[in-house]
């Protein structure tokens, strides 16, 4: 449902990272970018509304005032929404071993 919502909202470079066996905080992490703070905030609100409608539980959201990086705790799924330059700076995909492969030794 989260991936579909992001696709419908034209999120950029959406990545789903399985966390089972890597972390106890969630089963999956979804990372996506929006073109502007307005788009990031809009995507976050829509996901929160859909998750609440589906589960009946409120969703924790952090970072909405600036919407450079918004974190949504949807229970078994953690969603990170970024503006592209902020996403490049933090590079969460690499931190979780899902980004670029390590450089080969010469």
Q: What is the pLDDT of residues 13-52, one digit of tens each?
A: 999 988 887 777 788 899 999 999 999 999 999 999 999 9
pTM, full prediction = 0.84
Residue 8 domain boundaries: 2-93
**41-87 pLDDT per residue, tens:** 999 999 999 999 999 988 999 999 999 999 999 888 999 999 999 99
We report the CATH number of the domain holding residue 89 as 3.30.460.10
Gap between the Cα atoms of 48 and 60, Å rounded: 8
**Is position 105 within any domain?**
no
**Is position 98 within any domain?**
no
**Is position 88 within any domain?**
yes
**Is position 77 within any domain?**
yes
Residue that is written with structure tokens 């409608």 in the block? 53
**Is position 101 within any domain?**
no
Can you tell me whether residue 3 is helix, strand or coil? helix
Count the domains in the chain: 1
**Is position 81 within any domain?**
yes
């Amino acid at each position: 449902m989260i991936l579909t919502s992001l696709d419908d909202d034209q999120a950029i470079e959406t990545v789903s990272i399985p966390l089972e066996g890597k972390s106890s905080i969630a089963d999956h992490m979804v990372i996506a970018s929006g073109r502007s703070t307005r788009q990031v905030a809009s995507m976050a609100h829509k996901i929160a509304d859909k998750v609440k409608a589906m589960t009946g539980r409120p969703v924790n959201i952090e970072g909405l005032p600036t919407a450079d990086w918004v974190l949504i705790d949807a229970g078994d799924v953690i969603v990170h929404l970024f503006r592209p330059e902020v996403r490049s700076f933090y590079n969460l995909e690499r931190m979780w071993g899902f980004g670029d492969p390590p450089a080969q030794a010469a």
